[in-house]
Amino acid sequence: MAIKKRNLSKERILRAIKAPHVTEKTNRGHQEANSLCFKVNTTATKAEIAAAVVELFGDVSVKKVNTLVIKGKTKRTRNGIGRRSDVKKAYVTLAEGSTISFENAEQ
């Protein structure tokens, strides 16, 4: 999949990715398919996410980006009904030979 290169502001690119989403399932996907999962801004596009990964992690080639929106749950408390925020995740598949490691990253 060819990600379209557009004129994207650097500020918008850097705000696209919020944090890596590391679970057992995403670790398995990273080992088998060379893909990573990130929590991203709900307004971020696939092109912005791909550009952000390249900008943040340097010499990395992005093959494709798949996104999904997880709708927030409705919760009932004694004060009434509330709703959790929606979360958007992006699964970024890297090209052959590209790797990213979070093991030595600062917290």
Number of domains present in the structure of the chain: 1
Model pTM? Answer: 0.81
Per-residue pLDDT tens for 41-82? 999 999 999 999 998 888 889 999 999 999 999 999 899 999
- pLDDT value of position 90: 96
Residue 101 CA: distances (Å) to CA of 10, 22, 27, 28, 31: 23, 11, 11, 14, 11
Decide if 100 is inside a domain: no
The domain of 61 spans: 10-94
Top pLDDT among 86 and 97 is at 86
Whether 24 maps to a domain, the answer reads: yes
User: Residues 38, 54: contact at Cβ < 8 Å?
Assistant: no
Residue 88 within a domain: yes
Residue 61 sits in a domain whose CATH number is 3.30.70.330
